[in-house]
């Protein structure tokens, strides 16, 4: 699991430029295999071999991945498997070095640049043993299990495969625990300062008495009518046994480790650069999430410039609504006035759905629409307290209905455009439909590319007429300011010695985010 750093959003600061790169286009059909040059053929053979190996279990896949290798088991994340991956990726990089990109077709020159960067990032993350820190401030390997339950299941075999994965959770958690122990031993861990309360999401499962109340049991509550009743009962019994006998004990052991070992031994420093190989690790993260080799100082300056630009636009809106008071007082007004908050989870979900459908009605004027659609669902309650306000991708827009006083409606249009249509949900679906592109492009996510496109979509909402009030437009600017402020904060914390209090104050003072979102 990758550590998400704010610099992932660097390219989003130049959103129009990124949008042109990310916007779906009708690419030229690739040359047939029979007519491709020797260099093109060598390149294709190389990436097809590595990609097939990755999908068959060689490359680490996340716990909710639909890769064929994960059909009946959780990923192998042990040190031996990690080193085996590194060997393959280093060999792949060496083979790529022997291919002169200038000898490739124009399409393959683009493919080469993307593929080489993808494999380079995988290799460097593994070389620096990033797998020893398999969770961060809002995501974790244990909480991501909830998403397994949403994979499509139709046949008896599908459900048996899912049960087999549940039964494999103890091994998987054991490997993750040993990785974290190794990280603790060398001072490579999540900072202790951000661990407060993180055990709650583990305890939710560890203390489970009735397996049918687990989100992991959800697929068995209504099985397809094509499965005979007796077979349904057997599958349900096996699922209950897997959750009670395997999953719950694994969470209990994880909680004991987390409370008794991880938190007490976690590093007391905050900066990534304070860890072993910290400077190299932070530079690697910058490259992975921006695709650029900028220094922390350069990113910090870009962030400061963007903060100043956006601040002026925010001030213009405050004048427009004729608010009498300071910028800080306006933020307090937005954070506390009941008119800006939903009363029920259903209201929040309905508002998001309405915004999304209004955007749908405009999209045909701007871009090609994918065949695949998406749904809007609440974030599972066991992970909601530490999750972001929303998260989108192909097929699903997850909306966080936890702690409604922290989910301002003035931010909802920008959030929805970013996460659903025309943001992540549309981009992922369009990419998957580009059959003329290699699979490593159709099924991979480049953070700067994806976040740049989604931030552009927030701005596109102005032209589409999605923002109906100045307060909603201020919410859009709040989200843009959030990205700019994080460029300042991330580099401030990880390279310039900022304290956590400095970082929180900066975000609190420059955005209309709720206190829950700030912290």
| Residue 144 confidence (pLDDT) | 87
Residues 170 and 57 in one domain: yes
46 pLDDT above the threshold of 70:
yes
Q: What is the 3-state composition of the chain as percent helix, strand, coil, each rounded to the nearest 5? A: 65, 5, 30
Q: Which tens digits make up the pLDDT trace of 132-152?
A: 999 988 789 998 888 888 888
Q: With beta carbons less than 8 A apart as the criterion, state whether 412 and 351 touch.
A: yes
Residues 74 and 180 in one domain: yes
Neighbours of 428 (CB within 10 A): 22
Residues 460 and 488 in one domain: yes
Residues 206 and 294 in one domain: no
Residue 278 domain flag: no
Residues 394 and 492 in one domain: yes
Q: Which tops the pLDDT comparison, 105 or 145?
A: 105
Return d(Cα 353, Cα 272) in angstroms, integer: 39
Select from 400, 455, 378, 466 the least CA-distant residue to 424: 455
Residues 300 and 416 in one domain: yes
Q: Which domain holds residue 315?
A: 288-518
Q: How is residue 236 written in tokens?
A: 């349900």
Residues 250 and 385 in one domain: no
Residue 275 domain flag: no
The rounded mean pLDDT for the chain is 91
Residues 421 and 511 in one domain: yes
| Residue 69 confidence (pLDDT) | 67
Which of 236, 270, 304 is the endpoint of a domain?
270
| Residue 63 confidence (pLDDT) | 54
pLDDT band at 65, cuts 50/70/90? Answer: low
The sheet carrying 396-399 orders its strands as 375-378, 396-399, 390-393
Three-state secondary structure string covering 203-263: HHHHCCCCHHHCHHHHHHCCCCCCCCHHHHHHHHHHHHHHHHHHHHHHHHHHHHHHHHHHH
Predicted model pTM = 0.88
By CB atoms closer than 10 A (0-12, 13-18, 19+), residue 15 is buried
Select from 63, 75, 221 the least CA-distant residue to 147: 63
Q: Give the residue-averaged pLDDT of 59-80.
A: 76
pLDDT band at 381, cuts 50/70/90? Answer: confident
104 pLDDT above the threshold of 70:
yes
| Residue 59 confidence (pLDDT) | 74
Residue 280 domain flag: no
Residues 263 and 299 in one domain: no
Q: How is residue 340 written in tokens?
A: 């800006």
Residues 254 and 304 in one domain: no
Which of 204, 237, 270 is the endpoint of a domain?
270
Q: With beta carbons less than 8 A apart as the criterion, state whether 202 and 144 touch.
A: no
Q: Which tens digits make up the pLDDT trace of 263-322?
A: 999 999 999 999 999 999 999 999 999 999 999 999 999 999 999 999 999 999 999 999
Residue 4 domain flag: no
| Residue 405 confidence (pLDDT) | 96
Residue for token pair 């955005």: 511
Residue 144 domain flag: yes
Which of 242, 270, 298 is the endpoint of a domain?
270
15 pLDDT above the threshold of 70:
no
Q: Which tens digits make up the pLDDT trace of 465-501?
A: 999 999 999 999 999 999 999 999 999 999 999 999 9
Q: Which tens digits make up the pLDDT trace of 165-205?
A: 999 999 999 999 999 999 999 999 999 999 988 898 899 99
Select from 41, 72, 70 the least CA-distant residue to 54: 70
Q: With beta carbons less than 8 A apart as the criterion, state whether 496 and 303 touch.
A: no
- How far is the CA of 171 from the CAs of 177, 250, 384, in angstroms? 10, 9, 26
In this structure, of 52-61, 107-116, 275-284, the range with the lowest mean pLDDT score is 52-61
Residue 513 C-beta-side C-alpha neighbours within 13 Å: 24
Q: What is the CA radius of gyration of the chain?
A: 23
Measured in Å, how far apart are the chain's first and last C-alpha atoms? 22
Residue 16 domain flag: no
| Residue 5 confidence (pLDDT) | 44
Residues 68 and 205 in one domain: yes
Q: Which tens digits make up the pLDDT trace of 315-365?
A: 999 999 999 999 999 999 999 999 999 999 999 999 999 999 999 999 989
Sign of the C-alpha dihedral computed for residues 344, 346, 352 and 355 taken in this order: negative
Percent above pLDDT 90 for the chain: 80
Return d(Cα 86, Cα 380) in angstroms, integer: 34
Indicate the number of domains in the chain: 2
Residues 164 and 309 in one domain: no
Residue for token pair 């998957």: 432
Residue 190 domain flag: yes
In this structure, of 59-68, 174-183, 239-248, 418-427, the range with the lowest mean pLDDT score is 59-68
Residue 224 domain flag: yes
Return d(Cα 76, Cα 57) in angstroms, integer: 8
């Amino acid at each position: 699991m990758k550590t998400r750093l704010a610099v992932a959003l660097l390219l989003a600061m130049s959103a129009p430029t990124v949008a042109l790169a990310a916007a779906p286009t009708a690419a030229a059909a690739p040359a047939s295999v029979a007519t491709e040059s020797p260099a093109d053929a060598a390149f294709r053979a190389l990436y097809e071999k590595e990609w097939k190996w990755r999908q068959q279990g060689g490359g680490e896949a996340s716990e909710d991945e639909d890769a064929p290798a994960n059909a009946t088991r959780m990923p192998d994340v042990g040190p031996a498997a990690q080193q085996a991956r590194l060997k393959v990726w280093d060999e792949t990089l060496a083979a790529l070095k022997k291919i002169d990109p200038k000898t490739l077709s124009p399409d393959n020159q683009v493919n080469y640049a993307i593929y080489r960067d993808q494999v380079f990032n995988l290799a460097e993350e593994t070389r620096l043993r990033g797998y020893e820190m398999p969770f961060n401030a809002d995501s974790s390997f244990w909480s991501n299990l909830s998403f397994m339950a949403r994979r499509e299941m139709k046949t008896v075999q599908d459900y048996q495969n899912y049960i087999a994965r549940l039964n494999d959770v103890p091994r998987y958690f054991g490997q993750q625990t040993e990785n974290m122990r190794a990280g603790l031993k060398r001072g490579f861990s999540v900072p202790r300062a951000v661990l407060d309360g993180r055990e709650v999401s583990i305890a939710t499962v560890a203390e489970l008495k009735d397996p049918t109340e687990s989100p992991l049991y959800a697929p068995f509550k209504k099985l397809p009518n094509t499965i005979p009743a007796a077979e349904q009962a057997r599958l349900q019994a096996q699922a209950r046994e897997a959750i009670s006998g395997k999953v719950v004990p694994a969470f209990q052991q994880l909680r004991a480790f987390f409370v008794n070992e991880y938190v007490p031994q976690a590093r007391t420093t905050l900066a990534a650069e304070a860890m072993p190989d910290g400077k190299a690790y932070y530079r690697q993260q910058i490259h992975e999430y921006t695709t650029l080799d900028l220094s922390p100082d350069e990113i910090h300056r870009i962030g400061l410039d963007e903060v100043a630009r956006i601040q002026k636009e925010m001030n213009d809106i405050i004048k427009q609504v004729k608010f009498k008071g300071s910028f800080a007082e306006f933020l307090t007004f937005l954070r506390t006035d009941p008119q800006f908050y939903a009363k029920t989870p259903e209201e929040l979900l309905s508002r998001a759905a309405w915004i999304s459908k209004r955007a749908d009605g405009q999209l045909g004027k701007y871009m090609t629409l994918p065949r695949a659609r998406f749904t809007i669902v609440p974030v599972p309650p066991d992970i909601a307290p530490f999750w972001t306000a929303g998260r989108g991708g192909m097929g699903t827009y997850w909306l966080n209905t936890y702690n409604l006083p922290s989910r301002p409606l003035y931010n909802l249009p920008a959030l929805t455009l970013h996460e659903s249509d025309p943001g992540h949900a549309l981009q992922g679906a369009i990419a998957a439909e580009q059959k003329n592109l290699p699979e490593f492009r159709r099924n991979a996510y480049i953070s700067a590319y994806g976040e740049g496109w989604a931030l552009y979509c927030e701005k596109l909402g102005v032209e589409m007429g999605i923002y109906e009030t100045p307060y909603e437009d201020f919410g859009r600017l709040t989200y843009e300011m959030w990205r700019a402020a994080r460029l300042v904060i991330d580099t401030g914390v990880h390279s310039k010695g900022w304290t956590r209090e400095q970082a929180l104050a900066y975000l609190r003072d420059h955005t209309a985010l709720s206190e829950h979102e700030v912290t």
